[in-house]
Chains A and B, each alone.
Chain A
Amino acid sequence: MNIPNRIAITPELVASHGLKPDEYQRILDLIGREPSFTELGIFSAMWNEHCSYKSSKRWLRTLPTTGPRVIQGPGENAGVVDIDDGDVVVFKMESHNHPSYIEPYQGAATGVGGILRDVFTMGARPIAAMNALRFGAPDHPKTKHLVSGVVAGVGGYGNSFGVPTVGGEVEFDERYNGNILVNAFAAGLAKSDGIFLSEAKGVGLPVVYLGAKTGRDGVGGATMASAEFDESIEEKRPTVQVGDPFTEKCLLEACLELMKTGAVIAIQDMGAAGLTCSAVEMGAKGDLGIELDLDKVPVREERMTAYEMMLSESQERMLMVLEPSKEDVAKAIFVKWGLDFAIVGKTTDDLRFRVLHQGDEVANLPIKELGDEAPEYDRPWVATTPRAPLAASDVAEPDDYNAAVLTLVGSPNQSSRRWVWEQYDTIIQGNSLQRPGGDAGVVRVDGHRSKALAFSSDVTPRYVEADPFEGGKQAVAECWRNITATGAEPLAATDNLNFGNPERPEIMGQLVGAIQGIGEACKALDFPIVSGNVSLYNETNGTAILPTPTIAGVGLLPDWSKMARIGGMQDGDELIMIGVDGSHLGQSIYLRDVLGSSEGPPPVVDLAAERRHGDFVRGLIRNGQVTACHDLSSGGLVLALAEMAMAATRGLSVSLSDQRGPTHALLFGEDQARYIIAVPADLADFLRASAESAGVPFRRLGTVGGDRLMVDDVVSIAVVDLVNASESWFPAFMS
């Protein structure tokens, strides 16, 4: 059987591989001849936006990526951050947007699988997952189907693999009608001397294929993920991979066992563009060539061509460079777990990427240039036009405050997400200290007496659209704030940048502005970006998504017995607001969901205040002086109060007499750098004094007690009514 590699390379074939004419010319210049069909596929896989970051690289370089705790920044499978005692946390967030829209269950499932593999490839056992999900309008005909499939897919993979899902986001907006977002985060624990990297070392060493067999699923997936959608989307279903969490769980255990034996010189998971990307990355990073013999690759389908094998995105596969003396022990581990283990090639010293199939050399390309010399663009961009200011006095007050609060509490975007997270295993591994529903998920560090990690994922896309720079800052600040609200010290973050078509200057302007804002906030808050992912071309028929740079962060709690929770307060405790009086209604959800308007600029984040207020709150929590803590974000003061009341099932009696401004701005304003804390009543005066000396605004709000949320004579709602409004929206929507 001889499968041809000699398909004529026409301009149409080049275009269908997502390569522009100038990019194809670059290939011709680079290799000095016409590429073979397989080689064209390899270039297409390596040079698409998803793998090469060709539109974003120039801007990503401006982000802060180092710090005293950063062991590994961007460029590896995941970032690595020191959490003391020789322990490290390994984490990353990655999108699986396009596949999840085409086939929600498998798209979401393999998104989770891919990010878990990124983490354990580095030698870390996954300990926590989060998912930031964004869907179209609730009344769009596809939305329910997509929510149902994506949530089931996330759960189906993570639950079976055995990692607790401890947080995330679920939002709806009509701008995601044709392009949903599925951003999957995973974190794992390792020892600082047990980190495995993808850089190949040593000439003539065996390259080993591990895990599941190769099929035709996902062929061309990375190229598909780098294009816009149109009505032909159904034809793309075969490019979505199929997940097998059982095999992934076996692969995890086998890899961790293998890593203990000293058999692994370098290891790389097969994600986007599978065998191609993993082999090229390992070789290019190590300044080595790689030779692959495709006849040795375990396959599950007959008559697969070299092209298909090189571009397959079959899941649960790894490639490694093996210490040859350990071959027998390594193979025995994989046999025990029922997985494939096949030597499929070797490292070479010629810096070529050579692929053999049925006696032919089907590809022979310069390995460094495949990755390192991918096209890089300085795409033209225009800054987003600033929105006209919007004074609170120009925004109508609600006729009925109680009705407005209940509307927000029971709205599609602010209501309880219990329907979603009860489908995720949130407690497996026995270390979950805070499950979804609070400010951040918190997980104990196994084997340590008191240490824990906090995780949060945040972005407010409507802010980013109105002002990409401020919106980028705010995404980082809110993540930092949510982690701080548990008492944890925010250490580092991963970014998942979801935007439209970067070839349009206004979209490129959003990307540039957001990255600049993210960079500024990360610098000011000492919160470096250690890993990330860019997803562009999130457009359907020319309509882009809201710009959505998701920030997922990790924080460290040295002693979780002093952790704060959203609902930990007791009757009689004093409620305090840390931060300025609410004043900013531009881009607020009050404006959007009560008044139906999207006017004004987003709130500006004063990063110095953010840091000062956060450091102050964290100090109080660590001193054991706080019984509950919650950050203020969408919905402002009154929504934060409602969320605390619901979490504690306790009433709150609040007065705004300490504050100045129009009532609706005080209650619904989305000014930044703010928290509500609950403290024992006898500590309140003492804490006010320490706040004043730290230059931190301190507003007494009221006391905990009763069974109603009451604010002066404007709001009075039974907590049980809040809970009913909050808990009923999602189940009613999905029923």
Chain B
Amino acid sequence: MKSAVVQLPGLNRDRDMVDALTKISGHAPVTVWQTETEIPDVDLIVIPGGFSYGDYLRCGAIAARMPVMQAIREKAEQGVKVLGVCNGFQILVEAGLLPGALMRNTSLRFVCKEVLLEVVNADTDFTRAYGQGQVIRCPVAHHDGNYFVDDATLSAMEDKRQIVFRYAGGTNPNGSLSDIAGVINARGNVLGMMPHPENLIEAAHGGTDGRALFASALDVIAA
């Protein structure tokens, strides 16, 4: 499976993501600069975390309007898998590829810590290597991860099993509605999540709970 990592000014976990994809799939992903209007033929496109354009407007709002996002939108419509992590999730929301909004953490502070995630839907292309209801460890590092969506949309999302990860064990770090940590689009090929699975994939990270997500998305055997 081939993958691509999107690079925008201010993103800063692109190197972490390239490293994770390389270590798990054995192949380095291609990188795609923000001004590209075409994306190479890949199976997975990842928008990594960071502070695109400094997050000086709403997080992800400027990035969502860059040329590369139109190319990503087209790929998503063709069914290519798209993963947005942290700022990547915020960008996907701002681009309208995922429902909801990400507001400032209720503490009003940046938070970097390990949380627990419940795999609420293990039947997606991103989570099939996890067990349904499995609780995994995963770090978060963000200032604006407080997910919000209106009641009607939430209930529709729940009906379609679009909530993929929930903070578990009382570890919700940001006040997200319904403990939501990650959501998928109705078609099931665009996933956004605030936590950073790419920072928990090897012994040096203190755990490997993030590996199965990439193994699922890249269709490789989870190790």
Q: Which residues of A contact B (CB under 8 A)?
A: 152, 155-156, 159-162, 244-247, 249-250, 337-338, 421-431, 433, 444, 560
Contacts and interface: CB of A to CB of B under 8 A. Distances in A.
Nearest to B12: A162
Given A245-B51, A246-B53, A159 B110 contact: yes
A444 B202 CA distance: 13
A424 B9 contact: no
A212 to B, nearest CB: 12
A351 B182 CA distance: 62
Nearest to B54: A246
Interface of B: 9-10, 12-13, 15-16, 19-20, 50-51, 53-56, 109-113, 139, 141, 143, 196, 198-199, 204-205
B87 to A, nearest CB: 10
Contacts of B16: 428-430
A424 B112 contact: yes
A422 B199 contact: no
Nearest to A244: B54
24 contacts: A152-B110, A159-B141, A160-B12, A160-B50, A160-B51, A160-B54, A246-B10, A246-B53, A249-B10, A249-B51, A337-B9, A338-B9, A421-B112, A422-B113, A423-B111, A424-B110, A424-B112, A427-B141, A427-B196, A428-B141, A430-B198, A430-B199, A431-B204, A444-B204
A161 B199 CA distance: 17
Say what secondary structure dominates the interface of chain B: mixed
Given A152-B109, A422-B113, A427-B141, A161 B12 contact: yes
Given A156-B110, A245-B51, A430-B19, A425 B9 contact: no
Given A162-B13, A560-B204, A423 B56 contact: no
Contacts of A161: 12
A447 B56 CA distance: 33
A-B pairs with the 3 shortest C-beta distances? A246-B54, A162-B12, A160-B51
A337 B7 CA distance: 11
A209 B56 CA distance: 25
A623 to B, nearest CB: 21
B139 A427 contact: yes
A427 to B, nearest CB: 5
Given A160-B51, A429-B16, A246 B112 contact: no
B66 to A, nearest CB: 12
A433 to B, nearest CB: 6
B158 to A, nearest CB: 31
B51 A246 contact: yes
A428 B13 contact: yes
| Residue from B9, B53, B112 with most neighbouring chain A CB atoms (10 Å) | B112
Contacts of B139: 427
Contacts of B9: 246, 249-250, 337-338
A338 B15 CA distance: 20
Nearest to B109: A423
Contacts of B204: 430-431, 433, 444, 560
Contact of A422 (B10, B12, B15, B112): B112
A425 B141 CA distance: 6
Contacts of A425: 110, 112, 141
Nearest to B173: A422
Given A249-B10, A338-B9, 6 more contacts: A244-B54, A427-B112, A427-B141, A428-B13, A428-B16, A429-B16
A247 B54 CA distance: 8
Nearest to A560: B204
Contacts of A246: 9-10, 51, 53-56
A178 B51 CA distance: 34
B163 to A, nearest CB: 25
Contacts of B20: 430
Nearest to A422: B113
Contacts of B10: 160, 246, 249-250
B84 to A, nearest CB: 17
Contacts of A162: 12-13, 50
A316 to B, nearest CB: 11
Given A246-B9, A246-B56, A423 B110 contact: yes
Contacts of A249: 9-10, 12, 51
B204 to A, nearest CB: 6
Contacts of B205: 427, 430
A369 B97 CA distance: 61
A349 to B, nearest CB: 39
A427 B56 CA distance: 23
Nearest to B202: A430
Nearest to B23: A430
Nearest to B20: A430
B147 to A, nearest CB: 20
Contacts of B111: 422-423
A249 B13 CA distance: 12
Nearest to B198: A430
